[in-house]
Amino acid sequence: MKKSILAVTCAMFPAFASAGEDKVVTFDGSFEDAAFAVESAIIDQGLVIDYVSRVGDMLNRTGADVGSDQMLFKAADVFVFCSAVVSREVMEIDPMNIAHCPYGIFVAEDADKVMIGRRDYPDGAMDRVEELLDRIISEAVGE
């Protein structure tokens, strides 16, 4: 069953979904502009992008091979990166937070819209990671 994304008002980042859900915002522009905005926002935080996963290309390329003709995304990329400062903070609290590193922000375009988002992380130490990712997403969408 697919996890639904519920868009509600949040005190710090009004465009984000509620706690306990993946965080997704709609981008007012093209997929290419959104991808550039995310890349720029990550770099503006002094971070290095380790990898860009072309998830949309893979899904579109392999659909027929797995017996599906459904197009999930016109385009979808995941920007993968880490922060030495934030990662050390959360792993000094609990070394098993290594399971959540590196971090990712996705840009995706479906039939209706372009979206930027991230996954939800466990409450507690990982709130620091969510703050970093939310800051990057907010910058990318111009908030």
pLDDT of residue 7 exceeding 70, the answer is no
Per-domain boundaries in the chain:
23-141
Q: What is the mean pLDDT of residues 77-102?
A: 96
Q: What is the mean pLDDT of residues 28-46?
A: 97
Nearest CA to 140 among 102, 101, 114?
114
pLDDT of residue 12 exceeding 90, the answer is no
Write down the mean pLDDT value for the chain.
87
CATH of 23-141, one of 1.10.443.10, 3.30.9.10, 3.30.310.70, 3.60.70.12: 3.30.310.70
Weakest-pLDDT range from 21-25, 53-57, 85-89, 132-136: 21-25
**In the chain, alpha helices (H):** 31-44, 55-62, 84-93, 127-141
Instruction: Report the alpha-carbon distance of residue 34 to residue 76 in Å, rounded.
Output: 11
- pLDDT at site 21: 76
Counting residues of the chain whose pLDDT is more than 70, the rounded percentage is 86
- pLDDT at site 34: 98
- pLDDT at site 20: 60
- pLDDT at site 110: 95
| Tokens 């091979």, residue located | 65
